[in-house]
Amino acid sequence: MARYIYQYDQWPNFTWNDREIHVILGKVRHIQGKIFGQMGALGFSLKEEAILSTLTLDVLKSSEIEGEILNYEQVRSSIARRLGIEHAGMVHADRNVEGVVEMMLDATQKYNEPLDHERIFGWHAALFPNGWSGMHRIDTGCYRKGEMQIVSGPMGKGIHYQAPSHKLVEQEMDAFLDWFNGDTKIDGVLKAAIAHFWFIIIHPFDDGNGRIARAISDMLLARSEDSTQRFYSLSNQILTEKKVYYEILQEVQHSNGDITKWLDWFLNSLYRALMSTEEISKKVLQKADFWDKHKETILNNRQRLMLNKLLDGFDGKLKSSKWAKIAKCSADTALRDIKDLIEKSILKQEDSGGRSTNYELITDTK
């Protein structure tokens, strides 16, 4: 049976091929600077919108990697409320949504504060507010008290990973936190990659290790930029590459200390995340253009609410019944609102036809 990386004498003194990593690290640093420059040129409200969109995406996708689908509106409202951002159509968020948001914002908004056992326990407790993970009661706000295997297949026959013994977790976390808070000479982005891997290897909790590892990465990335402003989502990129993410982790967990392959994948994934940020800024600018074009258009509050939802990326098809439910009005009022927007060339009926009528935004704003 192949040994795990933590079973070698040199653990946790990681090594890597500097020359191999140097090129991609340079590319990441370059595009990081470029994106911050572009976003810095946006007006205040546009920048706010971009940050809100990014943080919402990050929280949703980090949970989705673990197979948990959170409600988009709840996540967005929870973040907006905590950041004091005016957001039309605020909704109440469930306790588990609030918990994930709390953790993510604590990591990214207080990135310069030290990370200690208590703070990580707080994150863990926030992720599992009821002390349950699915059907299982787990220990929350403390390190695991039992052995940890990652298994799959019938009755868990395939063991993918055996984490360090629970008796060693506290001393492993002491070493990790000393390094994390210490003044290492390693580039901040590289440190985010190492921290992610190191934490996953220790696997200190009964559940939630992946989400906390990604929050730790986000915290160190915020440090590397010295900014609370988030304009890209690493979690979204990891979700896209989920299969490779797990394959690389599984391969490098057996290394004798050389983590070049993991660092290379992480930095390339981060580079792709930074590249796709242009999509977020494009959406933000489209929304701004739309409202600029319609600043003189007479619209009621229901119409503004629903148009903002459509511009943010509406979930599913827009029907008059959905309009009535979200805008809290009668079916007749909803239909009147929609017809008014069709006459103003803002909405149109979808071509698909079918038994029920769907409506969509007219996207050509020329």
Residue 346 to residue 159: CA distance in whole angstroms: 55
Strands (E) in the chain, as ranges, are 132-133, 136-137, 149-152, 158-162, 347-349, 359-361
CATH number listed for the domain at residues 297-361: 1.10.10.10
Q: Which two tokens stand for residue 176?
A: 């990790």
CB 189 within 8 A of CB 268: no
Residue range 79-108: average pLDDT? 91
pLDDT of residue 222: 96
Looking up tokens 């990697």 gives 65
CATH number listed for the domain at residues 5-279: 1.10.3290.10
| 159-182 confidence digits (pLDDT tens) | 789 999 999 999 999 999 999 999
| 247-256 confidence digits (pLDDT tens) | 999 999 999 9
Which pairs with CB-CB distance under 8 Å and at least 24 residues apart come from 113-117? 114/181, 115/177, 115/180, 115/181, 115/216, 115/219, 116/177, 116/181, 117/170, 117/173, 117/177
Highest mean pLDDT (candidates 175-184, 262-271, 349-358): 262-271
> Which residues of the chain does CATH 1.10.3290.10 include?
5-279
Residue range 76-101: average pLDDT? 89
Least confident residue range of 284-293, 315-324, 341-350 = 284-293
Residue 68 to residue 134: CA distance in whole angstroms: 10
Indicate if the pLDDT at residue 36 is higher than 60.
Answer: yes
Residue 69 to residue 72: CA distance in whole angstroms: 9
Residue range 337-359: average pLDDT? 86
Q: How many CA atoms lie within 13 A of 88 on its CB side?
A: 15
